[in-house]
Amino acid sequence: MGVEGMEEKDQHEQHEGKEEPQQHNTLQHINDRSLKAVVIGLGYVGLPMAVEMAQAGYQVHGIDIDTSKIAKLNAGQSYVIGIEDDILQSLMQTGLFTASDDYAAVAQAHVIVICVPTPLTAEHQPDISYISAAVDGMTPYLVEGSLVILESTTYPGTTEERVKQPIEAANGWRAGEQFYVCYSPERVDPGSVHYGVKNTPKIIGGSTPACLTYGKQFYGSFLNEVVPVSSTTVAETAKLFENTFRSVNIALVNELTPACEQMGVNIWEVLGAAATKPFGYMPFYPGPGIGGHCIPIDPIYLSWAASRQGSELQFIQLADTTNRQMPERVVKRAAELLEQNGVSVRGARVVLAGMAYKKDIDDLRESPALDVFRLLSAAGAEVVFTDPMVPLFRKDDGTLLQSRPATPELWTWADLVIITTDHSAFDYQEMADQAKLIFDTRNATAGCHGGNIVVLGQPVRRGKTGDTYGES
């Protein structure tokens, strides 16, 4: 063995010597719940994760650059659906959860979990600036033996390129030796009553086998199921594929919807019948567009990553185009329905029933209702909205628009009501009884009576709407 080989062997043995007590101490901290954690980013992903850790007995400190969130948390007020105020207050009173905008808390932490946003830039490219800012903010405070886990959805290679390597360069450490790095994608389903942080299987990949072992031990100590994979890039790609699968299939249904209308076929009946197949099929449904952080954005991250390697993912591009055209299709159809009722879209009074991107949540991110609102306003319509979950939203010009109460008076005021979000709190039969005309993009009025309802995906019938469009 040459001198270089001996030196490498000695160094490896020295690192192994350091690693064993660190791993032993970590396991002990997990077993006796003395481990301290920091969660960076306290949004719809980070806050539920922080609360779950704290409920398991870990001392957790949350960090967020949004001082208004910190103020609410320190006042015992939750802003995330599913996290109740009394739970938050109890954890804070016992000292299991604290929050600030100060990265110095990382110096006391054994585990740091990054849950920051990963949006798209104006050029429709991945924006990982929040990840980089989090890494820059915490790196000066990291102590040896720390485990850093990225949960933010991102393109394959981010954990290695933007988390592991910058820390190694700044501190002169090696991942798997002086510190540990994992990627474990968030799998939050906002508003779900069936799946939460604890009972949703947790994928995790490590930069090294030692990193993966640490990550599995940590998550396995308070989550029901941990799914280890061979690398951080596999974990990153798995997350993107999950939502790309959804985007592509939703686009297929959205593309089929107008064709079914013209062919005289009710797509909702088609989809209901197809869903009875007990194998090889999963139902997806049409709507006014796609929203949230996942489906509109994740496929673009995957497509961008593939393009860096010279691959063009045409399905993803076509699906994105199809889904993003849906608000325009909805507005075009709405204008046609108004005209068939003798009302011009310019000056028409339109109510959007629902602004959130999804049923029974308050999340406006990427909501297609926002685009429907903009397009109708640009066409000259007088547009208002009602949403039991969203009290107000900020328009493009910066002004705030408040939600109207969902009353019979609102329905009768409107020339057209467009159901853009199928919230459970709406009384759809009352809406059908009072509204002059309803355009239902979610099939929320199924079972309601009234000849003034037009449902996206049901056969087009010519003539004056109230007389010739079928009941839902």
- Give the pLDDT of residue 191: 79
Q: Is residue 152 part of a domain?
A: yes
> Do 399 and 327 reside in the same domain of the chain?
yes
How many Å apart are CA 470 and CA 472, to the nearest integer? 6
> Do 290 and 229 reside in the same domain of the chain?
no
- Give the pLDDT of residue 463: 52
How many Å apart are CA 368 and CA 356, to the nearest integer? 8
Digit-by-digit pLDDT tens for the chain (472 residues) are: 343 333 333 333 334 444 444 554 677 788 888 999 999 999 999 999 999 999 999 999 999 999 999 999 999 999 998 899 999 999 999 999 999 999 999 999 999 999 999 999 999 999 999 999 999 999 999 999 999 999 999 999 999 999 999 999 999 999 999 999 999 999 988 878 889 999 999 999 999 999 999 999 999 999 999 999 999 999 999 999 999 999 999 999 999 999 999 999 999 999 999 999 999 999 999 999 999 989 999 999 999 999 999 999 999 999 999 999 999 999 999 999 999 999 999 999 999 999 999 999 999 999 999 999 999 999 999 999 999 999 999 988 889 999 999 999 999 999 999 999 999 999 999 999 999 999 999 999 999 987 799 999 999 765 554 444 444 4
Say how many domains are in the chain: 2
- Give the pLDDT of residue 470: 42
Q: Which domain holds residue 25?
A: 3-234
- Give the pLDDT of residue 32: 83
- Give the pLDDT of residue 461: 66
Residue 229 in tokens? 């994979």
**Catalytic one of 115, 182, 260, 294:** 294
DSSP for 6-23 reads: HHHHHHHHHHHHHHHHHH
> Do 146 and 295 reside in the same domain of the chain?
no
> Do 77 and 183 reside in the same domain of the chain?
yes
* Inter-residue contact 207 to 229 (CB < 8 Å): no
> Do 413 and 357 reside in the same domain of the chain?
yes
> Do 219 and 300 reside in the same domain of the chain?
no
> Do 280 and 212 reside in the same domain of the chain?
no
Q: Is residue 250 part of a domain?
A: no
- Give the pLDDT of residue 1: 39
- Give the pLDDT of residue 20: 46
102: three-class secondary structure by DSSP: coil
Q: Characterize the bridge pairing of strands 147-150 and 226-229.
A: unpaired
Q: Is residue 272 part of a domain?
A: yes
Give the DSSP H or E segment for 462.
none
Q: Is residue 243 part of a domain?
A: no
How many Å apart are CA 425 and CA 390, to the nearest integer? 12
DSSP for 277-318 reads: -SSS-------S---SSSTTTHHHHHHHHHHHTT---HHHHH
> Do 183 and 269 reside in the same domain of the chain?
no
Q: What CATH number does the domain containing 118 carry?
A: 3.40.50.720
DSSP for 150-216 reads: E-S---TTHIIIIIIHHHHHHH---BTTTBEEEE------TT-SS--TTTS-EEEEESSHHHHHHHH
Is 115 an active-site residue?
no
Q: Is residue 254 part of a domain?
A: no
> Do 101 and 154 reside in the same domain of the chain?
yes
